[in-house]
Amino acid sequence: MKKVFSIKDIAYIGMAVALIESCKVALAFLPNIELTSFWLVMFTLLMGCKALIIVPIFIAIEASLYGPHVWVIMYLYVWPILMLQTLLFRKKDNALFWALVSGFFGLFFGALCTPAQVIFFVKAKTLEAGLKAGITWWIAGIPYDLVHGIGNFTLMLFLYRPIRIAVNKLRNTPSEN
């Protein structure tokens, strides 16, 4: 019987979650500047589909620290969208390409989160009121999405190459199991 996750995979998952969470805490003072997108792309390039398990573990830690709210639902589908897109283009090894992907993801993060907000707002009112509130929520957040997109683009542009070299070394390290 073949194991789904090797010991090496489990180590990468633990390292990924710890790295993502520590970077999130370290950059918390900057509005919408984050390394979560960057690390999810890099770990997806390293681990492939197995990296998708990082998201629910990361969300569980976040929810235990900050309490659950509508963002938990958002994160459950928004981060995997980025990771699935990464899987689709995993053969690309170009910093500008990944900076554009990451930048557009940050730019449209609020739009991607809007469906969960609509559902959240509908719970309190009607569908029409939920749609209006969700769209208003998204529009109000556009300045933050711009910062998010620029931050993602810049971080990926400068960090992609050195971290990709490290990821390739990790990928080529022989496994003991």
pLDDT tens per residue, range 141-165: 999 999 999 999 999 999 999 999 9
pLDDT tens per residue, range 66-90: 998 889 999 999 999 999 999 999 9
pLDDT tens per residue, range 18-66: 999 999 999 999 999 999 999 999 999 999 999 999 999 999 999 999 9
Range 7-171 has CATH code 1.10.1760.20: yes
Which residue ranges make up each domain of the chain?
7-171
Cα distance between residue 143 and residue 126, in whole Å = 28
CA 115 vs CA 72, 107, 125, 137, 141: distances in Å? 13, 16, 15, 11, 14
Short-list 114, 127, 132, 33, CA closest to 74: 114
pLDDT tens per residue, range 91-111: 999 999 999 999 999 999 999
Q: Is the pLDDT of residue 177 over 70?
A: no
